Amino acid sequence: NAGVTQTPKFQVLKTGQSMTLQCAQDMNHNSMYWYRQDPGMGLRLIYYSASEGTTDKGEVPNGYNVSRLNKREFSLRLESAAPSQTSVYFCASNEGPQPQHFGDGTRLSIL
């Protein structure tokens, strides 16, 4: 009963490096989401995918790209990491109006 699985759990990058955060869900959900969580700011939506083959920008998309590889997988890419992207990243999924289910997060530090 995995739910939403994110990899890696932790990562340290140097400024300018690139990285892809992986997310997979096994609940056959159509919609998937990427959020970032920063102290005192709650969670903010980066990108989302309503269904396989579609992606849309959220509140804070700059510096990120996404790929909805198939119905199960939704990846988040940082092409040139910046210290301002140090954060905890959460992936979530849901179906229709049902609540979102969240992964355990990826803790990313950029030096």
Partner 1 sequence: GEDVEQSLFLSVREGDSSVINCTYTDSSSTYLYWYKQEPGAGLQLLTYIFSNMDMKQDQRLTVLLNKKDKHLSLRIADTQTGDSAIYFCAESDYGGATNKLIFGTGTLLAVQP
Cis ω for the linkage preceding 97 (within 30 of 0): no
Question: Considering the rule CB under 8 A, would residue 100 count as an interface residue with partner 1?
Answer: yes
Count, residues in the chain: 111
Using CB under 8 A as the binding criterion, the count of chain residues that bind partner 1 stands at: 27
What's the distance, Cα to Cα, between the start and end of the chain in Å? 36
What is the pattern of x (binds partner 1, CB under 8 A) and - over residues 46-75? Answer: --x-xx------x-----------------
Residue closer to partner 1 (CB basis): 79 or 104:
104
Query: In a 3-state reduction of DSSP, which class is residue 85?
Result: helix
Nearer CB in complex with partner 1: 79/95: 95
- What CA–CA distance (Å, rounded) separates 54 from 81? 24
Binding of partner 1 at residue 27 (CB under 8 A)?
A: no
Collect all residues with Cβ–Cβ distance below 8 Å to 62 and sequence separation of at least 6. Answer: none
Among 52, 55, 65, 101, binds partner 1 (CB under 8 A): 101
User: Between β-strands 10-13 and 106-110, what pairing exists: parallel, antiparallel or unpaired?
Assistant: parallel
Work out how close the CB of 80 gets to partner 1 at its nearest, in angstroms, rounded to a whole number: 27
Question: Which positions lie near partner 1, rule CB under 8 A?
Answer: 4, 30-31, 33, 40-45, 48, 50-51, 58, 90, 92, 94, 96-105
